[in-house]
């Protein structure tokens, strides 16, 4: 078995890349296979990505642990969250508005463009991962006795004791391993784009629950420093037919609609860039592991973008998987099925709870059933008055509980 690798990771996005870097830090070099090309740093930095990821404190902590956080050319910390119903009285506020750019200690988390995250992760992998291959297509995955066989498009065949599928929502590894998938089609789509408003966001992330679905305004860093504070990325969840109709609007029509639907919360919307539409489906792999194989990130689960937690729970998968692997390695055991089951046990329940609560909130917030509207408004107001509830919510949103009992805990 001398030609058998210890670990192959298919997918070098944020979750797969973070896993490779955490393993390298623990003394294990993975082979990383990614279909994407090498990014041109200057090009990526000069383009404003319309979408941002709301990174939790736990994700930021992990990115600091692998020394990529400080390489990010721009990011936007936020200090507050404000959520309310358009047709009701319920509202809830966390944290505070801030007049000046907050320090790391004041921030609840940070908004970062996914293209920048992919860039800094890739740059670090180029430095630290000895066998990192880009523009590589995996065309076959097969389980053999005590190893997995991975065939590449150029005919090369790799054998590995542990195969990690970090290849995103349409995971090829998951399909080839015959791992079933539960899919919940929301019959919704999200419109995402970058916008500029006349009033500053004051470092607060805002979300309005409209009868058609939630509309989030997320502060984002601007390319032009003078305009920092006025740019935001929106994620607007809508029924599919509305999303299709609004996507066909001209920029001027869309700006007008957005100003009205956002209740002028930040004055007028005056600029819009790069509108894109994403279909929304929750997906959950029926198993996260098999003998010698583990799924992480979107390959294992895709949740509603409502709470901006998708990549954060993926990063927690990476941390827990690396922790159990490195822990057992110290005892001379590599990627035993029991080790992988411990990863599944720790992550699957937490991810499923997050997924179901997002689906339930999405439904409750858009329901038109009167007693539920009352309950929703009453509930939000009660939560808003309770410091205890708010503290518990903030603790949950930080993701730090997911690192508890691992080597990455703080
Ligand atoms: C509208 C919207 C808003 C969102 N907002 C947020 C947010 O605010 N916060 C948040 O945390 N999450 C958010 N998410 C979710 C987040 O974008 C995903 O959870 C995250 O990108 C998943 O990361 P990943 O590394 O698992 O997968 P990906 O980023 O999809 O990476 C998969 C990698 O695998 C590679 N790959 C795929 N197939 C192969 C193959 N056969 N061979 C080799 N390589 C392969 C790809 O090239 C890619 O690099 C949002 C999602 C949407 C749709």
Q: What domains sit in the chain, N to C, each tagged with a CATH number?
A: 4-403 (3.50.50.60)
Q: Which two tokens stand for residue 379?
A: 């509930």
Sign of CA dihedral 235, 239, 240, 243: negative
- Residue 52 to residue 82: CA distance in whole angstroms: 18
- Residue 162 to residue 150: CA distance in whole angstroms: 11
Question: What DSSP letter does each residue of 330-371 carry, written as one string?
Answer: HTT--S-HHHHHHHHHHHHHHHHHHHHHHHHHHHHHH---HH
pLDDT at 387 over 60: yes
The CA R_g of the chain, rounded to the nearest whole Å, is 22
The larger pLDDT score, comparing residue 381 to residue 288, is at: 288
The backbone region for 375, taken as left when phi is positive above 0, alpha when psi lies in -120 to 50, beta otherwise, is: alpha
| DSSP-based three-state secondary structure for 396 | helix
Taking Cα atoms as reference points, which of 220, 243, 221, 222 lies closest to residue 233? 220
Distance from the alpha carbon of residue 118 to the mean position of ligand 1, in angstroms: 10
- Residue 145 to residue 205: CA distance in whole angstroms: 51
Atom of ligand 1 nearest to the CA of 192: 1
- Residue 249 to residue 131: CA distance in whole angstroms: 46
CB of residue 297 inside a 6 A radius of ligand 1: yes
Atom of ligand 1 nearest to the CA of 169: 30
pLDDT at 368 over 80: no
Interval 7-35 mean pLDDT: 98
Q: Which residue matches tokens 């740059």?
A: 123
- Residue 224 to residue 226: CA distance in whole angstroms: 5
CB of residue 32 inside a 6 A radius of ligand 1: no
The larger pLDDT score, comparing residue 373 to residue 52, is at: 52
CB of residue 220 inside a 6 A radius of ligand 1: no
Atom of ligand 1 nearest to the CA of 314: 26
Which of 18, 20, 35 to probe ligand 1 with, by most ligand atoms within 8 A of CB? 35
pLDDT at 373 over 60: no
Are 179 and 222 in contact by the 8 Å Cβ rule? The answer is no
Percent of the chain past pLDDT 70, that is, above it, reads 89
Interval 109-125 mean pLDDT: 96
CB of residue 11 inside a 6 A radius of ligand 1: yes
Alpha helices in 129-239 (DSSP H): 172-176
Residue nearest to atom 35 of ligand 1 (CA): 11
Taking Cα atoms as reference points, which of 179, 158, 149, 180 lies closest to residue 290? 179
Residue 335: how many CA atoms within 13 Å on its side-chain side?
Answer: 21
CB of residue 138 inside a 6 A radius of ligand 1: yes
β-pairing, 109-112 vs 76-78, is antiparallel
Atom of ligand 1 nearest to the CA of 111: 8
Q: What does the mean pLDDT of the chain come to? A: 89
CB of residue 76 inside a 6 A radius of ligand 1: no
Distance from the alpha carbon of residue 352 to the mean position of ligand 1, in angstroms: 18
Distance from the alpha carbon of residue 13 to the mean position of ligand 1, in angstroms: 7
Which of 53, 54, 277 to probe ligand 1 with, by most ligand atoms within 8 A of CB? 53
Distance from the alpha carbon of residue 16 to the mean position of ligand 1, in angstroms: 10
Which residues lie closer than 8 Å to 69 by C-beta, 6 or more apart?
60, 63
Res. 391 pLDDT band, cuts 50 70 90 = confident
Taking Cα atoms as reference points, which of 410, 385, 390, 387 lies closest to residue 400? 410
Distance from the alpha carbon of residue 297 to the mean position of ligand 1, in angstroms: 8
CB of residue 295 inside a 6 A radius of ligand 1: no
Q: Hey, what long-range contacts does 185-188 have (CB within 8 A, 24 or more apart)?
A: 185/281, 186/280, 186/281, 186/282, 186/304, 186/359, 186/362, 187/239, 187/240, 188/213, 188/237, 188/238, 188/239, 188/240, 188/243, 188/279, 188/280
Length of the chain, please?
410
CB of residue 121 inside a 6 A radius of ligand 1: no
CB of residue 15 inside a 6 A radius of ligand 1: yes
User: What is the structure's pLDDT at 390?
Assistant: 66
CB of residue 190 inside a 6 A radius of ligand 1: yes
Burial class for 42, CB neighbours closer than 10 Å (0-12, 13-18, 19+): exposed
Residue nearest to atom 21 of ligand 1 (CA): 311
CB of residue 35 inside a 6 A radius of ligand 1: yes
CB of residue 17 inside a 6 A radius of ligand 1: no
CA angle centred on 202, ends 198 and 204, rounded to 5°: 110
Most confident of 97-101, 161-165, 224-228, 275-279: 161-165
CB of residue 14 inside a 6 A radius of ligand 1: yes
User: What is the structure's pLDDT at 371?
Assistant: 52
pLDDT at 52 over 60: yes
For the chain, report the end-to-end CA distance as a whole number of angstroms: 39
User: What is the structure's pLDDT at 65?
Assistant: 97
281-299: b (≥16 Cβ within 10 Å) or e:
ebbbbebbbbebbbbbbbb
CA angle centred on 364, ends 390 and 388, rounded to 5°: 10
User: What is the structure's pLDDT at 309?
Assistant: 79
């Amino acid at each position: 078995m001398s030609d058998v690798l210890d670990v192959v990771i298919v997918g070098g996005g944020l979750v797969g890349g973070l896993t490779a870097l955490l393993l390298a830090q623990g003394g294990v070099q993975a082979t990383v296979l990614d279909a994407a090309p090498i990014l041109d740093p200057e090009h990526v930095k000069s383009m404003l990505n319309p979408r941002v990821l709301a990174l939790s404190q736990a994700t930021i902590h992990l990115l600091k642990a692998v020394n990529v956080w400080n390489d990010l050319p721009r990011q936007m910390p936020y200090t507050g969250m404000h959520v309310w119903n358009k047709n009701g009285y319920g509202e809830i506020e966390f944290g505070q508005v801030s007049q000046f750019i907050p320090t790391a200690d004041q921030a609840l988390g940070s908004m970062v463009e996914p293209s920048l995250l992919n860039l800094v992760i890739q740059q670090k992998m180029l430095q630290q991962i000895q066998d990192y291959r880009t523009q590589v297509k995996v065309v076959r995955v097969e389980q053999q006795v005590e190893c997995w066989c991975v065939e590449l498009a150029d005919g090369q065949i790799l054998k590995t004791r542990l195969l990690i599928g970090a290849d995103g929502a349409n995971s090829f590894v998951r399909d080839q391993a015959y791992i079933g998938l539960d899919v919940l089609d929301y019959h919704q789509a999200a419109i995402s784009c970058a916008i500029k408003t006349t009033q500053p966001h004051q470092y607060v992330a805002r979300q309005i629950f409209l009868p058609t679905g939630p509309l989030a305004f997320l502060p984002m860093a601007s390319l032009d420093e003078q305009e920092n504070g006025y740019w935001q990325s929106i994620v607007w969840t809508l029924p599919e037919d509305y999303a299709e109709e609004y996507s066909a609007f001209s920029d001027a029509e869309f700006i007008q609609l957005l100003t009205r639907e956002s209740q002028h919360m930040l004055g007028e919307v005056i600029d819009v860039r790069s509108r894109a539409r994403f279909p929304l489906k929750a997906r959950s792999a029926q198993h996260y592991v098999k003998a010698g194989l583990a799924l992480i990130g979107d390959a294992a689960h895709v949740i509603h973008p409502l709470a901006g937690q998708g990549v954060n729970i993926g990063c927690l998968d990476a941390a827990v998987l690396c922790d159990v692997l490195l822990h057992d390695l110290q005892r001379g055991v590599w990627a035993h099925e029991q080790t992988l089951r411990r990863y599944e046990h720790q992550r699957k329940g937490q991810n499923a709870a997050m997924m179901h609560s997002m689906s339930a909130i999405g439904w409750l917030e858009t329901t038109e059933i009167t007693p539920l509207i009352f309950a929703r408004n009453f509930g939000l107001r009660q939560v808003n008055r309770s410091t205890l509830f708010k503290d518990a919510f903030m603790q949950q949103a930080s993701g730090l509980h997911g690192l508890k009992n691992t080597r990455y805990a703080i």
